[in-house]
Structure 1
Amino acid sequence: MIVEVPFRPLAVDQSDVRYAHGPDSARQPGVPVGRTVEFDWNDSVVYPGTSRKFWVHLPAQYDPSCPAALMVFQDGRWYLDPDGEVRAAIVLDNLVHRGDIPVTVGVFVDPGVHAGAGEPRCRNVEYDAFDDRYATFLLTEIIPQVTDRYSITQNSNGWGICGGSSGGNCAFTAAWLRPDTFRRVICCLSSFVQMPDGNPYPELIRSVPRKPLRIFMQAGHRDLRWNERERNWLASNLHVAAALAEAGYDFRLVLGDGGHSPNHGGVLLPDALRWLWRPMDPGGADARG
């Protein structure tokens, strides 16, 4: 089926661009509002001495007798903000209501903080690392708090993870190292260049057997250091996308204008979730959990 895309003129100035949110990012008449529950987590074993909040968003259609899909969002407070750029709870409510995605419980996790430390925020330590600590943290500390209270599918095809900037490479790393649990990934403006030993993924993706991942990427023409040889956010994302293409992954890259801002990725979230949860191609199993 051919899809006709409406004409839109390209912005001449690629740096100072803002995308308008679509209707799926706003409360709509007749769409029931889900329930968001706040939790504190101060007992981390993986990241000792840290404290953080996380939130669980239950769409109105959530039924304990029917296990729901699960989507984890990094930088939880920012992604939940109904007046922010992402508005993820609103998006989940709209898409679940229409049946565009399965009933999906959103888990929104803030980075940890160390009380009284010189650099209290642990965001870069947690998100930019290339190891399985953060995935282990989610799977052994945060997600059990969710599955103990709510009915979540155990089918890994029903689990996804999302983030932007350092949260984007964090989401990619969690899925890369634990594809047995996280199968669907959204990563926007990922800060691969900030990983301590550099971006390992272009070489890794090409050198190991393809993993059962479906990946949605967003990158910006004017992301940080976009025209410089070293630590180029744009080029690093393009290198990862090229490797995914060469390795035959089910992935999609959307390249927009503007700088290192969550605006474009937030505007794209409804379409990214629809793409992420679409059925498999003809002849394959349904992608939904």
Structure 2
Amino acid sequence: MTILMPYQALAVDQTDVRYVHGPDSTRQPGVPVGKTVEFTWANSAVYPGTSRKVWIHVPAQYDTSEPASLVVFQDGAWYLDPDGEVRGAIVLDNLINRGDIPVTIGVFVDPGVFGSDNLGNRKNRNFEYDAFDDRYVTFLLDEIIPKVAARYSISEDPDRWIICGGSSGGNCAVTAAWLRPDKFRRVICCLASFAQIPGGNPYPALLHREDRKPLRIFMQVGHRDLGWSDPEMNWLAENLRTAAALAETGYDFRIVLGDGGHNANHGGVVLPDALRWLWRPTNA
């Protein structure tokens, strides 16, 4: 089937490009609004001494007798904010209502902080997100997701688990799925900070060296991302190198390249399309 795309002029000046959100990213009349519940997690064994907020968004269509799919968002408050760039709960409500994606519970997890609140305390974000190890995915699987599963019925099928993040949260999402494909097999990574993984970006080499994993990966990349014209610490180049390795090794992946810089605008705008693409039939 041929899909006709409307003409859209390319921006000539790329210094300040902003993408406009589509209807899936705004509240629509008649669409049932899911329920969002919040809890604080301050008893981590993986990251002792940290505390963080977590939000669970349960769609109106959730039925206790039918296990729901799962999507986990890093930087939870940013991705949940209904007036922000991503608007994750609004997108889930709209797509579920239309039947574009299955009934899916969203879990929005903030990075940890050291201190009693999130104001001026030392953040643990880069330590958690940029590390190339299994600590963060273990934290999700052993500490956060069990709390969600204790209250709601979650599918155990890894093909129904998505992990999503941007910047350092983007490479964190890839690492979580790479190390635990038995749990997460769907990934959204926006403007991933592969460039600042300690020791360097491991993925171009790993993808060629290791057997292909059963992953489906959606990447959003910005042409004016950090260091885009620099010889080192170049976010654009490292994302493109990772995407090239995914292509060369036969992964089910898609890359969307925008003109924006290192912000959540374009990734938020394409989130509805990313979710639809991840949930498409295997042979499509």
Fold shared per TM-score above 0.5: yes
Say whether the 8 Å CA contact 2:22–2:269 is kept in structure 1.
Answer: yes
From 130, 136, 150, give the equivalent of 1:134.
Answer: 136
State the distance in 1 between where 2:275 and 2:225 align: 23
Task: Determine the structure 2 residue equivalent to 1:243.
Answer: 245
Task: Determine the structure 1 residue equivalent to 2:23.
Answer: 23
Task: Determine the structure 1 residue equivalent to 2:213.
Answer: 211
TM-fit CA distance, 1:258: 1.3
Question: For each residue in 1:56-95, what CA deviation from the matched residue of structure 2 results, as whole angstroms up to 9, or x when unmatched?
Answer: 0001000010000000000000000000000000000000
- Give the 3-state SS of the residue equivalent to 2:246 in structure 1: helix
Task: Determine the structure 2 residue equivalent to 1:274.
Answer: 276
Structure 2: give runs of 5+ residues left out of the alignment. Answer: none
TM-fit CA distance, 1:15: 2.3
Alignment of 1:42-121 (within 5 A): 42-115=42-115, 120-121=122-123
The one-letter code of the counterpart of 1:212 is: P
- Give the 3-state SS of the residue equivalent to 1:4 in structure 2: coil
- Give the 3-state SS of the residue equivalent to 2:64 in structure 1: coil
From 123, 126, 146, give the equivalent of 1:124.
Answer: 126
Percent of paired sites with the same residue: 73
Could you say if the C-alpha distance between residues 113 and 9 of structure 1 is closer, same or farther in structure 2, counting changes exceeding 3 Å? same
The one-letter code of the counterpart of 1:15 is: T
Say whether the 8 Å CA contact 2:51–2:116 is kept in structure 1.
Answer: no
State the distance in 2 between where 1:280 and 1:166 align: 29
Task: Determine the structure 1 residue equivalent to 2:181.
Answer: 179
Q: Please tell me the root mean square deviation across aligned C-alpha atoms, in Å.
A: 1.2
Question: For each residue in 1:19-51, what CA deviation from the matched residue of structure 2 results, as whole angstroms up to 9, or x when unmatched?
Answer: 000000000011000000001101000000000
- Give the 3-state SS of the residue equivalent to 2:151 in structure 1: coil
TM-score of the two chains, using structure 2 as the length reference: 0.98
State the distance in 2 between where 1:2 and 1:261 align: 32
State the distance in 1 between where 2:22 and 2:243 align: 26
Question: For each residue in 1:181-233, what CA deviation from the matched residue of structure 2 results, as whole angstroms up to 9, or x when unmatched?
Answer: 00000000000111111100000011111000000000001100100100000
Could you say if the C-alpha distance between residues 155 and 9 of structure 1 is closer, same or farther in structure 2, counting changes exceeding 3 Å? same
State the distance in 2 between where 1:109 and 1:134 align: 11
Question: For each residue in 1:101-145, what CA deviation from the matched residue of structure 2 results, as whole angstroms up to 9, or x when unmatched?
Answer: 000000000000001799610000000000000000000000000
TM-score of the two chains, using structure 1 as the length reference: 0.96
- Give the 3-state SS of the residue equivalent to 1:235 in structure 2: helix
Task: Determine the structure 2 residue equivalent to 1:220.
Answer: 222
Task: State the number of aligned residues.
Answer: 282
Task: Determine the structure 1 residue equivalent to 2:154.
Answer: 152
Task: Determine the structure 2 residue equivalent to 1:229.
Answer: 231
State the distance in 2 between where 1:116 and 1:72 align: 24
Runs (4+) of structure 1 exceeding 4 A deviation are 116-119
